[in-house]
Amino acid sequence: MTAGMSQTRKRRVPLGLRGRLLGMLAAAAAWSVGFVGAAPAAIAEDVQSKQWYLEPMHAEEMWKTTTGEGIKVAVIDSGVNPLTPSLKGQVLKGLDASGTDGDEYDDNGGHGTTMAELIAGTGKGGGLQGLAPGAKIIPFRITDTALQNQKSVNAYDTRDAIRSAAESEAQIISMSFSSEFPTSEEREAVEYAQGKGKLLFASVGNNAKKGNKEGFPASYPQVVGVAATDSSGKVSTYSQHGDTVDIAAPGDGIPTWCDSKFEKYCDSNGGTSQATAITSASAALIWSAHPDWTANQVLNVLFDTAGRGDWEKGTLSNYLGHGIIRPAVNILKGKGTPGAPDISPLTKEKTSGSTASPAASASASSQPEKKDKAQDASMAGSSTEKNDGSQLGLILGGVAVVLVLGGGAFALIRKRRTA
pLDDT per residue as tens digits for the range 375-404 = 222 222 222 333 322 222 221 122 222 222
Strand 402-404 vs strand 378-380: parallel, antiparallel, or unpaired?
A: antiparallel
pLDDT band at 112 (very low <50, low <70, confident <90, very high): very high
CB 237 within 8 A of CB 406: yes
Q: How many angstroms separate the CA atoms of 410 and 223, rounded?
A: 25
CB 262 within 8 A of CB 81: yes
Contacts of 244 (CB under 8 A, 6+ apart): 10, 204, 214, 215, 218, 219, 225
pLDDT band at 108 (very low <50, low <70, confident <90, very high): confident
Q: How many angstroms separate the CA atoms of 319 and 234, rounded?
A: 10
pLDDT band at 33 (very low <50, low <70, confident <90, very high): very low
Average pLDDT on 7-28 reads: 36
Query: Which active-site residues does the annotation give?
Result: 77, 111, 273
Ranges 60-69, 227-236, 400-409, most confident: 60-69
CB 363 within 8 A of CB 339: yes
pLDDT at position 173: 98
The domain defined by 66-404 folds into: Rossmann fold (3.40.50)
pLDDT at position 404: 26
Q: Tens digits of per-residue pLDDT, 291-334? A: 999 999 999 999 999 998 787 776 899 999 999 999 999 999 99
Q: What percent of the chain has pLDDT over 70?
A: 71
pLDDT at position 147: 61
Burial 133-165 (b: 16+ CB within 10 A, else e): bbbbbbbbbbbbeebbeeeebbebbbbbbbbbb
CB 380 within 8 A of CB 309: yes
Contacts of 134 (CB under 8 A, 6+ apart): 66, 67, 68, 69, 70, 71, 120, 288
Asked if residue 417 has pLDDT above 70, the reply is no
Q: How many angstroms separate the CA atoms of 206 and 412, rounded?
A: 8
Q: Tens digits of per-residue pLDDT, 226-242? A: 999 999 888 999 999 99
pLDDT at position 10: 57
For the chain, domain boundaries: 66-404
- What are the two backbone dihedrals, phi and then psi, of residue 301, each rounded to the nearest 5 degrees? -70, -40
Q: Tens digits of per-residue pLDDT, 139-196? A: 999 987 666 656 778 889 999 999 999 999 999 999 999 999 999 999 999 999 999 9
Higher pLDDT, 25 or 255: 255
Q: Tens digits of per-residue pLDDT, 282-300? A: 999 999 999 999 999 999 9
